[in-house]
Structure 1
């Protein structure tokens, strides 16, 4: 398969905070860095001029049932396969069988944590963690002890900020507990990724995530909830699937949140990758690539 080299943009990748270029081949990211060495490293690659666009991992929707996937792709969103929620009484059976464990929003997180802890004591923590336990919703009612128990066995909490009332929820506390966060962008029969990021970063009466943490929840966190274990899925790390979106944005900025205020900065010395300013209009999607191939030639 032809290698592709894209230059002249702004690339969100763990490989480099200041990356302006990336290359992919055979459906995988193979390099990310600055424009200058790219042509020498990939002399036979098909060249793409990003024209200053921001390139980032594609958004991932965990609850895609009955969604119009073409419409989702037009918003930079790709589906993932999160198993359907099951009854809480089947948790032990599924863990012993090495199957995925997913509980829905109406279940008690404290009981879920207690059952996972009991199974970890009996079977070993890795046996439970391999099932990647997922709890959909319910983040606002979880105490610190329950969070610690869930984190110890690799649980992922799937937030639904456009559906659930997160008023007063301390997402910073939950993220700091070690529990992985993912987020669904779905509301009704559509997905609204940028509204999801705004909701996660501006929780009324609580502490919202930083834009970077919110973005991770809708990309890498969602891939983790769907079963990825390699730590690369949902990023633009060399070796990861070449699934990304290309956006026209305004100036990128860095935000650091404390208990009461979010301060925006464009200072590169912060060391935090800059993100689109969520106080502005939605970025415009110019292209979506899935496993190295254009997902929709119309965008």
Structure 2
């Protein structure tokens, strides 16, 4: 009935359950199902359906856009262009016009915090040229980007949105993911998309976050009621991203004369945390740069002062991304039970001495980013995720990225990383029963079956978590996730006892 009833030796299990159906997995590996704690389902689905600009060159990406546009009716949504892969180049308005003449085209950067828009799409946004982040030919950022994104979403039909959401959830199930946290909001996917997702009825569990600031407990309760959201958290933007020069910094970028973009001031951030804490609603923010993280920590401190630590911890407030956290801030976050929802794939893509982070911030600041070990040492609950479509869905890839950090001393062990995409991610989504994300009697029977090579017990030399490799210690091994080792292949995904994916 959807619950684990026995884990142990065959003989005892068969004696206790003589009528049970037996499935021989022929040596496959069974593990708790993954939870992706930060996704954007419609954007992911559209990306999976072929709207990609992620080719190694600008010319190849624009040719792919031309092909996709020719096969697509209505608005053309494309994603994934990255100047780091294109030798610094970016798509221009003229590029989009050449690839899809006269069409409404929205082409998002890989980090989803800036985008190029065709002339036809730009023309649908009144007073676009007056908004912050506007440029007549180059990609749009800030308020200008938000406006064209909303215009592109409004041009999608209900059927297109639902089809994209279902495609994303099907892909999640095919990779052993049993639950996702949708991070939406007015400028992200919009109220219509959010409502359609609530009606979808997919077997993968969906926790829906709505990122809109409130100023009172009554406002928080009313917004939660109107949207049907599970929390007023997720991508409530305090700032933007490093790649788009919009993450909010105390000191200017190394390669641009700006400190980034502030979407919420300190007063608004504090008001939201206080309102949600009073209403006992989970709050959270998108905060990447050090100045953005500082605003969130200051707001949480105000809530602790007014309501006390137990009340704040009981709400399970979240920080999404949390890329620049100081040791002092980590200590406070751990003491207050605030959860860090982070994306190891970001360091894999953009870390290292020659990566985008170092270009944007300089080597010294870049080396402080995404310090998973710092947060773990300070007992900050970790939930790892993909932020799909920014990085692809895939739990094992997330685990491997968390253990192979570019900065020595910032990685965590494979078992700590695995916990952050299973138990930790369930906890970040408000499930605190002590068994979700495990395979023990009484736990939900949500698991995946994997084709694997070697199973190993390994801790990187600089990992925060250690354990004995002596088999007598009873430490369960994990698949070999070292560089060059093939990632496990999902054979079956089961949610609450029901198979939702089975490999052909």
What range describes the TM-score normalised by the shorter chain of this pair?
Answer: 0.7 to 0.9
Select which of 153, 170, 182 maps to 2:371.
170
| 1:85 alignment counterpart | 211
Partner of residue 203, structure 1: 405
Once the two structures are TM-superposed, the CA of residue 225 in structure 1 deviates from its matched residue by 1.1
Distance apart, 1:199 and its partner CA: 1.0
- Correspondence list, 1:66-85, <5 A: 66=42, 67=44, 68-80=168-180, 81=207, 83-85=209-211
Contact 1:54 1:249 in 2 (8 A): yes
Check conservation: 1:28, 1:241, Cα contact below 8 A. yes
The structure showing larger relative contact order (alpha-carbon pairs under 8 Å, at least 6 residues apart) is: 1
Preserved contact between residue 95 and residue 128 of structure 1 (Cα < 8 Å): yes
Question: Which whole-Å CA distance do the structure 1 matches of 2:477 and 2:502 have between them?
Answer: 28
Q: What is the match of residue 78 of structure 2?
A: none
Output one character per residue of 1:79-116: Cα deviation in whole Å (capped at 9) or x when no partner: 33152334424111111011111111347223322322
- Specify the SS of the correspondent of 1:174: helix
After superposition, the C-alpha distances for 1:193-214 in whole angstroms (9 at most, x for unaligned) are 2221121100002331111111
Checking the alignment, whether the CA contact within 8 Å between 1:170 and 1:206 is kept in structure 2 is no
Going by fraction, where is helix more abundant, 1 or 2? 2
CA distance in 1, matches of 2:388, 2:177: 14
SS at match of 2:10: coil
CA distance in 2, matches of 1:51, 1:283: 15
Q: Displaced runs of 4+ in structure 1, greater than 4 A?
A: 164-167, 260-267
Distance change >3 Å, CA 183–CA 102, structure 1 → 2? same
Residue 297 of structure 1, CA deviation: 4.2
Which among 284, 299, 314 is matched to residue 115 of structure 1? 299
Shift in Å, 1:267? 4.3
CA distance in 1, matches of 2:480, 2:14: 31
Question: What TM-score results when the alignment is normalised by the length of structure 1?
Answer: 0.83
Normalising by the residue count of structure 2, what TM-score does the alignment of the two structures yield? 0.51
* 2:423 aligned residue (195, 206, 220): 220
Indicate the structure with greater strand content. Answer: 1
1:139-158 matches, within 5 Å, as 139=323, 141-158=324-341
The CA distance in 2 between the partners of 1:245 and 1:75, in whole Å, is 8
Distance in 1, Cα, partners of 2:277 & 2:20: 46
Within the candidate set 6, 10, 24, 1:35 is matched to 10
- Aligned partner of 1:130 in structure 2 is 314
- Structure 1 residue 245 displacement after superposition: 0.1
Question: Is 2:281 the counterpart of 1:99?
Answer: yes
The one-character-per-residue Cα deviations of 1:225-279 (angstroms, maximum 9, x if unpaired) are 1111212111112212110001111121011233389999964145432110002
Gaps spanning 5+ residues in structure 1: where? Answer: 1-25
Equivalent residue number for residue 183 of structure 1? 384
Instruction: Give the root-mean-square deviation of aligned CA atoms.
Output: 2.5
Structure 2, unaligned runs of 5 or more: 45-167, 181-206, 214-268, 353-366
Please name the residue that 2:497 is paired with: 292
User: SS at 2:280's partner residue?
Assistant: coil
Aligned counterpart, 2:24: 49
Q: In structure 1, what is the Cα distance between the partners aligned to 2:287 and 2:27?
A: 41
CA contact (8 A) 2:376 2:464 kept: no
Task: Report the structure number with the largest CA radius of gyration.
Answer: 2
Q: CA deviation at 1:40?
A: 0.5
3-state DSSP class of the match of 2:346? coil
Contact kept in structure 2, 1:84 and 1:102, CA below 8 Å = no
Contact 1:83 1:100 in 2 (8 A): no
After superposition, give the CA deviation of every residue in 1:13-61 in whole Å (9 maximum; x if it has no partner). Answer: xxxxxxxxxxxxx111122112221100111211122221111111111
TM-fit CA distance, 1:223: 0.8
